[in-house]
Structure 1
Amino acid sequence: MSISSFNRRWAQVILEALTRHGVRHVCIAPGSRSTPLTLTAAGNAAFICHTHFDERGLGHLALGLAKGSGQPVAVIVTSGTAAANLYPALIEAGLTGEKLILLTADRPPELIDCGANQAIRQPGMFGSHPTVSVNLPRPTQNIPARWLVSTLDSALGQQVCGGVHINCPFAEPLYGAPDEAGVSWQKELGDWWQSEKPWLREIYGREIIKQRDWFFWRQKRGVVVAGRMSAEEGERVAAWAKMLGWPLIGDVLSQTGQPLPCADLWLGNSQATTELARAQIIIQFGSSLTGKRVLQWQATCTPEEYWLVDPLPGRLDPANHRGRRLSCNIADWLELHPAEKRPSWAEKLAPLARLAQDTVALGTAEFGEAQVAARLPELLPEAGQLFVGNSLVVRLVDAFAQLPAGYPVYSNRGASGIDGLLSTSAGVQRATARATLAIVGDLSALYDMNSLSLLRQVSAPFVLLIVNNNGGQIFSLLPTPVEERERFYCMPQDVNFAHAAAMFSLTYYNPGSWSELRDVVTRAWLWPQATIIEITVPETDGAQTLQNLLAQVSQA
């Protein structure tokens, strides 16, 4: 029997099984041990194949594709530390719900723990982070094809969210012309090859339970907290809250239009917290809240009931409120719990929100990090999307800007790391083919600079806006030791990104005023290519402006 040919037959069953679970995008890194998987994926017309030389970036590219498409995405890497580099993206997917399927090629068992090259212990290497882990045997005709396909179907059927790790050992030889080895083995699956359904379908029910006392609670004084949601969900939640007359506190990722904008500023005012203390029930849709004052208020509020509606499993409430955790689709939950038209009750909040907006407008008149965050909606492409980085930039946008209702906003706010932000945004753009504005800090851009190579292949205008405040200036908001802050926390690198853009043949601009920035961005939306725009700002401008505006609004 030809080992190389049967390796391919085995891989064909694996990849074909993935198509039955909605996989269309496959992300592939170079490697020899993964050859059976790579060549099989490349030869399957059902797949769109993406490549990247950096496995960490590849994992985040897959994460972005999963965010943008809403479908599971497969990743193929070779053995050794190549597989370990997928860990950050896997962790993020587990916290934010995207479906990743990690196919890690491996050495066969006889080459493990004996000094063989590029051989590490891969089974279970991701610990508790995958939803399911499967360690396949080395390909052999002694194991029926129906066992292989049903094992994969069972694992993927359990993937409500997060990652599945499928470890795939292959023995050499890995190369060679296909022959008849394994044809009869594959034919055991009969007409499954022509169908579109899984071999084994395991049904896991997630019935939405109607809260029988909702008719009672909807007549009470309530507050809606909106975390990370889809654009459609954000619009529906905003309309639902308005009908009830309940104030809505919307996160930057809520896509609700933030009817009470700048919440992270006005929640620092005691008038706001006093008014909100009258609430009898708080219902939170979506998790991953950003603003510090929002989180502080959320942690200390004591309504009679606190409900949290989100499709992800787990408590998702770090404050551990007394109430109900409703794990279900948000749109479906709203259908079962209709709003009733009632007058608004928290009348003091709207004037405070207007005061905060006016204060922001006056306090961000000078060009810089704070002004760009506050006026970011003016830069958004029509019918496009926004990707917001982590650290200081997402907090400034959350505190200062009012994003349009239903406008798609993406971010990595699960583990909230700065790794893989460029590659994730590239994946989102590839999945949606929409004009995309991504805004990140300078350290985030440096961390994922290899993934600038992914921006050479875009299907719609893509603007990467790098806010260069020379380091991790979020630490300027924290009580870090002054003498050690620059060396051990902010770590200024004193770089600009002109040469990085040139290295990957990307268009680059470094505007010095708001009008220049607006003009450059406006032109960038005219062409289906990537543009890097770096704004160089005073190091502590954004952090100081946030603190100053918070003090003004809090004391009003």
Structure 2
Amino acid sequence: MSVSSFNRRWAAVILEALTRHGVRHVCIAPGSRSTPLTLAAAENRAFIHHTHFDERGLGHLALGLAKVSQAPVAVIVTSGTAVANLYPALIEAGLTGERLILLTADRPPELIDCGANQAIRQQGIFASHPSQALSLPRPTQDIPASWLVSTLDNALGSLRSGALHINCPFAEPLYGEMDETGTQWQAALGEWWESDQPWLRAQTSLESAKQRDWYFWRQKRGVVVAGRMSAAEGKLVAEWAQTLGWPLIGDVLSQTGQPLPCADLWLGNARAVTELAQAQIVVQLGASLTGKRLLQWQATCTPQEYWLVDPHEGRLDPAHHRGRRLVSRIDEWLALHPAEKRHPWVNAIPGLSRQAWELTTRRCESFSEAGLAHRISRYLPQQGQLFVGNSLVVRLIDAFARLPAGYPVYSNRGASGIDGLISTAAGVQRASGKPTLAIVGDLSALYDLNALALLRQASAPFVLIVVNNNGGQIFSLLPTPQNERERFYLMPQNVEFAHAAAMFSLAYHRPESWNALEEALENAWRRPGATLIELVVNATDGAQTLQHLLAQVSQL
């Protein structure tokens, strides 16, 4: 009996089972212990293969692929700390709902806790963060193939969101020519190999019922809060709120067109908050809100009912409102709860929003970080998409910009970390094939610098704008101690990114005016491949502009 051959056949069943649940993208890191999984994936023609030498980036690449494809994405890594590097992407997927299938190769049990090389305790390594976890046994013909495939089907079929961790121990030898070992074991699955269906089909959908009293509530004074949703859903939500005559507070990830722009500014105005206090019901469609003032208002508002609609399970409401938590796709929920044409009930807020927008336009004329955030809709590629980084840049775009309704916007706003942002953006581009604009800060870019290797394979124009404000300027908005702020919070690195772009053979520009930026973007959108554009800006401009406009708008 050839151990290496049976390892391969065992792994082939695992990978084939994934195809029956919609997995098309497989992300693979180099490693020896994962050889059976890697070769099984390479031989399966159903897969699109992606490779990266950094497991942390690989996990985020898979996350980006899953965001756009709306299908589960598989990741294959070797044993040891390679597994631990998947943790950040796994946590993010658990909070935002993308489905990741983490196939982690492992040493067999007799090599654990005895000093063997690259052997760590991998069972349960991710604690409660995966939605599900499977610890498979060492491959053996004593276990029928039907057990393996039905075990996988049961887990994959019930995975509605988040990650499935499948730990796969393999004994040596891992290499060798294939022989007949295990052919009868595989053949026991019979016609399954020629079909495209799972061996075991599970029905585990969960959706909230239609709210029968909606016809009563839609006649009341309501507010719509739009969080993270798809581009198509964003347009539907905007039309729905307009028909109801309810004010729509749109997050940067809502893709609603933000009919009342600069919400993070005007929500700091007492007149706006007083008017919103008249609302009898708040309907939040989509979780994950960005703006600080929006979160503050959301935490303190006290309507008679607070409804939160999102396709993912869990409370998703840090303010713990009295109301209803409704699990549903947003577009399907809107179809079940139609709007009724009514006149708008708010009077002050539309005017406050217009004034805030005009003040922002005047304040953001100069070439600056705040100016980029305000003007960002001018620079979006046609038929493309936007990926927004975390920390200060996403807050400025949320507060100062007005993005087109239905234009795809992506971000990692679950755990809101800065790790893996470039890798995630690379996955977003690969899954869609669309021209992509991504914007991150300098520390975020440094944190994921080796992900620039992934951008060399961009199939369409890809522009990465690195806003270099020399450090974590988000901490300028927080009451961090002044004397320790620079050393322990901002951590300026005094770097520039021309050499990084050159190392990975990316086009590079460092514009110093709006005209120069527009020229660089025009050239970038005309050519396939990636371009890195570095905007070196005044360190404190973005944070100070936000604080200045907040003070102005609060006094309107």
TM-score (norm 1): 1.00
Does structure 2 conserve the Cα–Cα contact (< 8 Å) formed by 1:464 and 1:532?
Answer: yes
Counting only pairs closer than 5 Å after superposition, residues 361-400 of structure 1 correspond to structure 2 as 361-400=361-400
SS of residue in 2 equivalent to 1:50: strand
- For residues 152-198 of structure 1, give each alpha carbon's deviation from its aligned partner in whole angstroms, at most 9, with x where no partner exists: 00111121000000000000000011100000000110000010110
- For residues 376-429 of structure 1, give each alpha carbon's deviation from its aligned partner in whole angstroms, at most 9, with x where no partner exists: 000000010000000000000000000000000000000000000000000000
Aligned to 2:278: 278
Aligned to 2:551: 551
Aligned to 2:417: 417
Cα distance in structure 2, aligned partners of 1:521 and 1:207: 44
Structure 1 residue 127 and structure 2 residue 127: aligned?
A: yes
Cα distance in structure 1, aligned partners of 2:97 and 2:347: 36
Q: Please state how far the C-alpha of 1:271 moved relative to its aligned partner.
A: 0.7
Cα distance in structure 2, aligned partners of 1:169 and 1:201: 26
Structure 1 residue 456 and structure 2 residue 462: aligned?
A: no
Cα distance in structure 2, aligned partners of 1:207 and 1:159: 14
Cα distance in structure 2, aligned partners of 1:359 and 1:207: 44
Q: Please state how far the C-alpha of 1:527 moved relative to its aligned partner.
A: 0.7
Aligned to 1:298: 298
Q: Please state how far the C-alpha of 1:68 moved relative to its aligned partner.
A: 1.3
Aligned to 2:43: 43
SS of residue in 2 equivalent to 1:552: helix
Structure 1 residue 540 and structure 2 residue 534: aligned?
A: no
Counterpart of 1:492, as a letter, is P
Counterpart of 1:336, as a letter, is L
Aligned to 1:518: 518
Counterpart of 1:208, as a letter, is S
Aligned to 1:358: 358
Cα distance in structure 1, aligned partners of 2:208 and 2:313: 13
Cα distance in structure 2, aligned partners of 1:514 and 1:321: 45
Cα distance in structure 2, aligned partners of 1:160 and 1:347: 42
Cα distance in structure 2, aligned partners of 1:340 and 1:213: 14
SS of residue in 2 equivalent to 1:164: strand
Aligned to 1:263: 263
Counterpart of 1:165, as a letter, is H
Cα distance in structure 2, aligned partners of 1:516 and 1:272: 39
Cα distance in structure 2, aligned partners of 1:431 and 1:492: 34
Q: Please state how far the C-alpha of 1:2 moved relative to its aligned partner.
A: 0.3
Q: Please state how far the C-alpha of 1:253 moved relative to its aligned partner.
A: 0.1
Aligned to 2:494: 494
Aligned to 1:200: 200
Does structure 2 conserve the Cα–Cα contact (< 8 Å) formed by 1:131 and 1:158?
Answer: no
Cα distance in structure 2, aligned partners of 1:315 and 1:136: 32
Cα distance in structure 1, aligned partners of 2:539 and 2:330: 40
- For residues 6-38 of structure 1, give each alpha carbon's deviation from its aligned partner in whole angstroms, at most 9, with x where no partner exists: 000000000000000000000000000000000
Does structure 2 conserve the Cα–Cα contact (< 8 Å) formed by 1:96 and 1:413?
Answer: yes
SS of residue in 2 equivalent to 1:553: helix
Aligned to 2:408: 408
Cα distance in structure 1, aligned partners of 2:208 and 2:83: 37
Aligned residue pairs, count: 556
Cα distance in structure 2, aligned partners of 1:369 and 1:238: 28
Does structure 1 conserve the Cα–Cα contact (< 8 Å) formed by 2:388 and 2:411?
Answer: yes
Cα distance in structure 2, aligned partners of 1:211 and 1:74: 37
SS of residue in 2 equivalent to 1:22: coil
CA RMSD between the two structures: 0.5
Aligned to 1:232: 232
Cα distance in structure 2, aligned partners of 1:504 and 1:131: 36
Aligned to 2:249: 249
- For residues 326-373 of structure 1, give each alpha carbon's deviation from its aligned partner in whole angstroms, at most 9, with x where no partner exists: 011111111110000000111211111100100000111111100000
Counterpart of 2:78, as a letter, is T
Cα distance in structure 1, aligned partners of 2:515 and 2:392: 23
Q: Please state how far the C-alpha of 1:206 moved relative to its aligned partner.
A: 1.8
Q: Please state how far the C-alpha of 1:522 moved relative to its aligned partner.
A: 1.4
Does structure 1 conserve the Cα–Cα contact (< 8 Å) formed by 2:207 and 2:327?
Answer: no
Counterpart of 1:134, as a letter, is L
Aligned to 1:190: 190
- For residues 260-312 of structure 1, give each alpha carbon's deviation from its aligned partner in whole angstroms, at most 9, with x where no partner exists: 00000000011100110110000000011000000011111010000000011
Counterpart of 2:459, as a letter, is S
Cα distance in structure 1, aligned partners of 2:384 and 2:365: 27
Structure 1 residue 14 and structure 2 residue 3: aligned?
A: no
Does structure 1 conserve the Cα–Cα contact (< 8 Å) formed by 2:265 and 2:356?
Answer: yes
SS of residue in 1 equivalent to 2:438: strand
Does structure 2 conserve the Cα–Cα contact (< 8 Å) formed by 1:262 and 1:398?
Answer: yes
Structure 1 residue 59 and structure 2 residue 59: aligned?
A: yes
Q: Please state how far the C-alpha of 1:205 moved relative to its aligned partner.
A: 3.2
Structure 1 residue 321 and structure 2 residue 321: aligned?
A: yes
Cα distance in structure 1, aligned partners of 2:159 and 2:207: 16
Cα distance in structure 1, aligned partners of 2:308 and 2:15: 37
Does structure 2 conserve the Cα–Cα contact (< 8 Å) formed by 1:132 and 1:158?
Answer: no
Aligned to 1:221: 221
Cα distance in structure 1, aligned partners of 2:387 and 2:467: 14
More divergent stretch after superposition (478-487 vs 513-522)? 513-522
Cα distance in structure 2, aligned partners of 1:508 and 1:202: 50
Cα distance in structure 2, aligned partners of 1:129 and 1:158: 16
SS of residue in 2 equivalent to 1:440: strand
Unaligned runs of 5+ in 2: none
Aligned to 1:102: 102
SS of residue in 1 equivalent to 2:294: helix
Aligned to 2:88: 88
Does structure 1 conserve the Cα–Cα contact (< 8 Å) formed by 2:392 and 2:474?
Answer: yes
SS of residue in 2 equivalent to 1:422: helix
- For residues 40-74 of structure 1, give each alpha carbon's deviation from its aligned partner in whole angstroms, at most 9, with x where no partner exists: 10111000000000000000000000001111000
Counterpart of 1:441, as a letter, is G
Does structure 2 conserve the Cα–Cα contact (< 8 Å) formed by 1:22 and 1:71?
Answer: yes
Does structure 2 conserve the Cα–Cα contact (< 8 Å) formed by 1:11 and 1:36?
Answer: yes
Cα distance in structure 1, aligned partners of 2:262 and 2:515: 24
Does structure 2 conserve the Cα–Cα contact (< 8 Å) formed by 1:379 and 1:522?
Answer: no
Cα distance in structure 1, aligned partners of 2:402 and 2:347: 20
SS of residue in 2 equivalent to 1:198: coil
Q: Please state how far the C-alpha of 1:208 moved relative to its aligned partner.
A: 3.4
Q: Please state how far the C-alpha of 1:207 moved relative to its aligned partner.
A: 3.5
Counterpart of 1:368, as a letter, is S
Counterpart of 1:72, as a letter, is P
Cα distance in structure 2, aligned partners of 1:369 and 1:515: 15
Cα distance in structure 2, aligned partners of 1:50 and 1:212: 47
How much identity, in percent, do the aligned residues show?
A: 74
Q: Please state how far the C-alpha of 1:518 moved relative to its aligned partner.
A: 1.2
Aligned to 2:77: 77
SS of residue in 2 equivalent to 1:375: helix
- For residues 211-248 of structure 1, give each alpha carbon's deviation from its aligned partner in whole angstroms, at most 9, with x where no partner exists: 11100000000000000000011110110000000000
SS of residue in 2 equivalent to 1:254: coil
Counterpart of 2:523, as a letter, is R
